[in-house]
Amino acid sequence: MAHLLVSNARLVNEGEIREADVLIEDDRITRIDASIAVPDGADVIDAAGKYLLPGMIDDQVHFREPGMTHKGDLATESAAAAAGGITSFMDMPNVNPQTTTRTALADKYAVAEGRCTANYGFYFGATNGNIEEVKALEVGEACGIKAFMGASTGDMLVDDPEVLERMFEHAPIMVVTHCEHSPTIWDNEAKARAKYGEQVPFSEHPKIRSAAACLASSTLAVDLARRHDALLHILHLTTAIEMDLFSKAHRSEKRITAEVCVHHLWFDESSYEQLGSKIKCNPAIKRAADRKALVAALNEGRIDIIATDHAPHTASEKAASYFEAPAGLPLVQHAMLTLFDLVADGQINIELLVDRVSHAPADLFGITERGYVREGYFADLVIVDPAMPYTVSKNNLLSKCQWSPFEGHQFSASIDTTIVNGQVVFRDGKLTGHIAGRRMEFTRAR
């Protein structure tokens, strides 16, 4: 049996920080104690002065496989994720072919096997035409049902009112939604075209993909979920005005939950001037006041999960004009570091960070034996060095698209080590090459 001892760590878990040693045997955590003697033949990682956390479970990524693998694929992006302290990811269905049949879903799992550095789960995509497949889904088959209630990358808009009613009525598992009201956006696009022609400045994006468009759609989603008592998780919230839709209650008491993404916690509209297309994403990055409201909502418990919405596109695709440039940015490698900067800046605390990136996704999606540092659980862990700054540059980027909105930025902390199912997958600034990811088990029924 392979033994690995992580010693002298500052363990952050379940709302507290304490000095601890953690023993791993094969793929499991077998002991957590103040001091553990080194077993014969064990490997030891001395984590003195560093934080040990459960790895991030990213509930929203676009790794682009199948069909768009020139932007990214399950192997490259899961490796970048692991280098960023993400030990599990849940991938979206806007690929090609779209994951909108149970056969396509099974095919995607088959393609992933043996190629992912981090653990994986896949969403089933709802459309205006596949309600029977949605109804037939079994618990565990997908992590959730993704409904684009606003059009975005991939032509998957679900806007038929009757289909939406039936989906919320019958969804056997959680519905996760992208909420932006497309007719409002189309109207705003027409106005921008009339004013600027094709050369719309990227700074117009939050006016086109407006707060009103977000609120109209998220209000509809909440209304549908309430009337049908469905489980609803609204993805990537971006505005202050939507925050009243969400309760401050603990997630164990809620059927409607909320997610925020790291780029919406980090950037605001003042960044368009410098970064332009690089930070074009849907929903749009909005005002500084919105960013502040998102941080406040996170601290109050209205927002339950922090994710990335990692959405790589090539640099040349992003170099196009406003209407042509695709929305989305690569984030998995640096998401945890952005959050540690927010911690260093006093905006959130580290116990809350761990709750929102690890514990909450494990609970809300019913993921078996992950998301916590507990004896008997899978050893999915990350060691973060808060005293070792990390500068993003072209030569340390791992996503296939090879660019980042953070190039040149120095983060205050760095990822020291990532462990997936007991295997060290990232250490000393390098991937070790272990392809340790496994399919996750999802157990939550509606």
Binding site for ligand DOR (CB under 6 A): 62, 94, 152-154, 178, 281-282, 309, 311, 326-328
Nearer to ligand DOR, 282 or 417 (CB): 282
**Least distance from ligand DOR to the Cβ atom of residue 200, Å:** 17
**How, if at all, do strands 256-261 and 232-234 pair?**
parallel
Nearer to ligand DOR, 50 or 146 (CB): 146
**Least distance from ligand DOR to the Cβ atom of residue 197, Å:** 24
Nearer to ligand DOR, 85 or 328 (CB): 328
Three-state SS string over the chain comes to CCEEEEEEEEEEECCEEEEEEEEEECCEEEEEECCCCCCCCCEEEECCCCEEEECEEEEEECCCCCCCCCCCCHHHHHHHHHHCCEEEEEECCCCCCCCCCHHHHHHHHHHHCCCCCCEEEECEECCCCCHHHHHHCCECCECCEEEECCCCCCCCECCCHHHHHHHHHHCCCCEEEECCCHHHHHHHHHHHHHHHCCCCCHHHHHHHCCHHHHHHHHHHHHHHHHHHCCCEEECCCCCHHHHHHCCCCCHHHCCEEEEEEHHHHHCCHHHHHHHHHHHCCCCCCCCHHHHHHHHHHHHHCCCCEEECCECCCCHHHHCCCCCCCCCCCCCCCCHHHHHHHHHHCCCCCHHHHHHHHHHHHHHHCCECCCCCCCCCCECCEEEEECCCCEECCHHHCCCCCCCCCCCCCEECCEEEEEEECCEEEEECCEECCCCCCCECCECCCC
Nearer to ligand DOR, 281 or 298 (CB): 281
Nearer to ligand DOR, 146 or 359 (CB): 146
**Least distance from ligand DOR to the Cβ atom of residue 284, Å:** 9
**Least distance from ligand DOR to the Cβ atom of residue 408, Å:** 22
Are 81 and 331 in contact, with CB atoms under 8 Å apart? no
State the residue for tokens 């088990």: 441
Nearer to ligand DOR, 404 or 414 (CB): 404
Give the residue nearest to ligand DOR (CB): 328
**Least distance from ligand DOR to the Cβ atom of residue 282, Å:** 4
**Least distance from ligand DOR to the Cβ atom of residue 95, Å:** 9
**Least distance from ligand DOR to the Cβ atom of residue 186, Å:** 16
Nearer to ligand DOR, 50 or 318 (CB): 318
Nearer to ligand DOR, 262 or 311 (CB): 311
Nearer to ligand DOR, 284 or 384 (CB): 284
**Least distance from ligand DOR to the Cβ atom of residue 302, Å:** 21
What angle do the packed helices 161-170 and 211-228 form, to 10 degrees?
Answer: 50
**C-alpha to C-alpha distance for 204 and 93, rounded to whole angstroms:** 28
**Least distance from ligand DOR to the Cβ atom of residue 152, Å:** 3
| Amino acid of residue 217 | S
Nearer to ligand DOR, 125 or 154 (CB): 154
Nearer to ligand DOR, 7 or 333 (CB): 333
**Least distance from ligand DOR to the Cβ atom of residue 41, Å:** 46
| Residues in Cβ contact with 101 at an 8 Å cutoff, skipping those fewer than 6 apart | 130, 133
**Least distance from ligand DOR to the Cβ atom of residue 12, Å:** 30
